[in-house]
Structure 1
């Protein structure tokens, strides 16, 4: 009898925790309802990237798309759409912008004119590596700023990606 009560109590706690997580995520989605629509990758550009005929400025970088967060903080994950969820991805730097072609999710497109800065960081919501484990792109849409994190399979890529992304902004590489 005591074992059955302990099992029921444990299940009740787990159900309660899941309900609290759902409630928090729902409230975050409501709080972010005023965020602008994110830009969609042009269909012809996406087709060229997937066919391998796009004019990449750098060799594509494979890795994991960590998430997109608001400028409120590195843990304020965007809950609108699927840009807040991690997925395997290939990052492409093109003259028109940055494309994170995600496996099993919509691609994330950042037009060149929206890129504000690039840097490395120890973490972002969904992935904490420590050191300079992530490439983070700061970008702007309709007055809202976002950080998008990407963990490359080869961390040496960051040495070329950060200056190249900053060059898109017209900043000093």
Structure 2
């Protein structure tokens, strides 16, 4: 009896993992039309990691939550690993915004792609309540994305939001 229950639980777990894999595979198929996301320039990434980059404001440590399409705050992007959480350090540079993620590929948002910045209560993979996340709206080849970041110090958002908005060429309404 005990062996039968153990086998049943294992089968259920395997079934659940298979369903998650199937759902994620289908998400990638549905998002096949999305443009390729920009890669971080190697020279810039090397400067950041060596500590010699010219950050416009002090870097902020925290958790990169995810990148979603503009369709919904829950429509996580399935391309690469940008849809997955990771510890990260956010760097605002003259060239753009870099999330240098631990154990994952960096997420690079070129300056010319940034549309807006705001705080939000959540994004796919992380819900924090009022003003819990820094969310950056950006565009690649006509497709808009939102990228969420949870800073270790939420007071950083008072610096980050105006600094990111200044990349777009002017202030924006909340």
TM-score greater than 0.5 by the shorter chain: yes
Partner of 1:162: 161
Residue in structure 2 matched with residue 91 of structure 1 by the alignment: 90
Please state how far the C-alpha of 1:121 moved relative to its aligned partner.
0.9
| Separation in 1, partners of 2:130, 2:31 | 30
Greater mean alpha carbon deviation, residues 91-100 or residues 40-49: 40-49
1:136 alignment partner in structure 2:
135
Shift of 1:10: 2.7
Q: Does 1:74 align with 2:76?
A: no
Structure 2: runs of 5+ lacking an equivalent: none
Gaps of 5+ in 1: none
RMSD: 1.3
Shift of 1:171: 2.3
Distance 2:59 2:9 in 1: 47
Deviation at 1:8, TM superposition (A): 3.2
**Cα deviations by residue, 1:123-165 (Å, 9 ceiling, x for unpaired):** 1111111111110001000011111111101100000100111
Q: Where does 1:1-173 land on structure 2 (aligned, <5 Å)?
A: 1=1, 3-172=2-171
Which moved further from structure 2: 41-50 or 56-65?
41-50
CA distance in 1, matches of 2:54, 2:8: 59
Number of equivalent positions: 172
TM-score by length of structure 1 reads 0.94
Question: Matches of 2:78 and 2:39 in 1, distance apart?
Answer: 17
1:63-106 per-residue CA deviation (whole Å, 9 max, x = no partner) reads 11111111111111111111111111110011111000111111
SS at match of 1:151: strand
Q: CA deviation at 1:60?
A: 0.4
Distance 2:41 2:10 in 1: 47
